[in-house]
Amino acid sequence: MSALLFLLLAAAARAQYSATYSYDPSNPSNLPDTTEQGQAGTNRCGGGSSQTSLCQNVFMNSITDFCVWGPPYSNGQNATVGETEREEVAFCLKSGYGTRLLPDGTITGAHWVQTPDYVQVTGIGDFTKIGIPASDSGGELDPHGADGNGNPIGGLVFGNSYGGSYIQYHEWTNFMSSTEFCIRACKPGPNAAALCQHIYDLQGCHWNMPGNYDGGYFESCFGDTGLPMGVYGSSTWQQGTGPTPDPHPAPPSSSCVRVASLTSYSPLPTASYSTSVTIVTSGSAQFTYLASLPPSSSQPTTAPSTTKPSVSPAPTSTQNAARKGQVHRPLLLVAITLASLSAMRVHLAL
């Protein structure tokens, strides 16, 4: 291979995906039918959902509203991530995007983190339910691929975590295996490519996206931006050269809220009682704020469980302290509907 050809191939492998598309939830068919040549599926997915959908749009909105990539076909043996990476389709928690849905019980632990620069979900599950063979140790999906068209070809990622309006994430990375997943979408900006690096496809989730992979519960947190994968001080490690360095430590997270299930945002109490405050005004702009309150001796010692039968119970605060070294304080859920300050009605339930 000539030096020129090698450079051209290297450039293609690292090509920056730059085409921009707008997702309008009121008109989801505004996207083009396809966005890359050779695309097996479609980006014009409409609404609803279908388990035969070939939609290639992933959405990253919250702990109860995200998607992952999965094989479009499988007989349980012939659809490893490596074999289907060019044709993978979206599997989502919610209907309305024209995608396939993740079957109940697929994900058994999920941990959402929003940082100033990216959103990320890590966890475990049984992804044979979406066709990944049980023996598959996994592979990586990203918007580049060997030719710059992406794995899958034409795959798009959108989200509304930053400011409430949908943006397109040009840089993202998703590792899938039969038992584990991680997906990160980087906010557009100068650090997006480094924080969603796609060249370490052999290193897997824990190395590329250090975080919480515990099973048995689902949580949403805010966190600090982590270090770029593969960058150590002034040096950048190249996969395949020398020993593999240790992964970066998981960055700190805070304001974590556990939810009863991935299908309905219903916060679980982190202690033996729950507290809620609702502030309502006239208008349509709604915001939710989560804060900590110190426990009160006047609170009841038990609270009804909101965990659905199909979801493993969340660890108690004592168990969580043993694993994490800290006990989270009870949470105060404040839902605020803002328009004018007139006609305000306050309801406090303790």
Full-model pTM: 0.72
Secondary structure in 3-state letters for 153-192: CCCEEEECCCCCCCEECCEEEEEECCCEEEEEEECCCCCH
Find the radius of gyration of the CA atoms of the chain: 21
> Per-residue pLDDT tens for 170-206?
999 999 999 999 999 999 999 999 999 888 777 789 9
CA dihedral 78, 81, 87, 88 (to 10 degrees): 110
Using pLDDT thresholds of 50, 70 and 90, give the confidence band for residue 264.
Answer: low
User: Would you say 61 and 93 are in contact if contact means Cβ atoms under 8 Å apart?
Assistant: no
pLDDT category of residue 244 using cuts at 50, 70 and 90: confident
- B/e letters for 251-276, b = 16+ CB within 10 Å, e = fewer, are eebeebbbbbbbbebebbbbbeebbe
Percentages helix, strand, coil for the chain, rounded to the nearest 5? 10, 30, 60
